[in-house]
Amino acid sequence: MWWFYRKGPSGFSGASTAEEVTAGVDGRGLTARVLALLGVHVVMPVRNVAAGLAVKESIVASIPGARIDVLELDLSSMASVRRFASEFESLNLPLNILINNAGILTRNCTCSCDGLELHSATNHIGHFLLTNLLLENMRSTCRESGTEGRIVNVTSAGHTMTYPEGICFDKIHDPSGLNDFIAYGQSKLANILHSNELSRIFKEEGVNISANAVHPGVIATNLFSGRIIVAAFLNSIGRLICRSVQQGAATACYAAMHPQVKGISGKYFANCNIAIPSSQASDAELAKKLWQFSLQTVVSS
């Protein structure tokens, strides 16, 4: 496990925690789904509002004065994404940081309520639509505050797999022929391509917003709760190979808030350091193709 503790150029490693990588960072005045501990006004989009409110209560109990709002959001439904964006705008909050961190892995390549393959709908299209709906707020916030806006897309190791033409676009509307792991991997590949194209667009516009993708590492979460064998395997050796929640959140927090990342965009981070993704994840033409496909998908819904 030496590699896990080996520090990279940033001074951090896979063993670093979110608190360590944000130590000394002043988050006051920023609105993002990051750390209330730093004085950030946190907006929590959740599918289960009751569970979200319980989390809010526990945070407020440990961090007096924490500013947290809980809003309902189901990323697999474009109607829900649009409702959330409208409710967020009604709060009249500035938006400096957006972390897109949802990820599902189902047993079957079923369809969402919008008729899209469920992994793509939740892990990519929902994030794509949400980001687009909140972009004008981010643009105006960074202009008025003079503070860099940051978008962070959380991906996974799934992007390292190889797929025909990178992504099977025809299977997003017709998932037959895909298995769940391939569908999941393609949706996480889309997260990096989305970040890359956002970065290109921001540079072209000359707007002070960055977009990066991060790999949080293997974390013992409920992602594999429906897979008894995989879950049992992770539970048995989790202490050896899995990161804690605090360690898993570190790279996203680093990319979202650390001064070292200022001005860096269109990159892929792992273990709180810039890393090299797969060749498909670096394909600029595929990123443009995905952007156009995603735009047509959300416009036609």
| Residues with catalytic function | 184
State whether residue 269 is helix, strand or coil: strand
State the alpha helices, DSSP H only, in the chain: 2-5, 18-21, 49-62, 78-90, 118-120, 126-145, 170-173, 180-205, 228-241, 245-248, 250-257, 284-299
End-to-end CA distance of the chain: 47
- Bridge-based pairing of strands 273-275 and 268-270 is antiparallel
> Using CA atoms in the order 288, 139, 126, 78, what is the torsion angle rounded to 10 degrees?
-110
How far CA 261 is from CA of 34, 85, 151, 264, 292, in Å, comes to 16, 27, 12, 5, 28
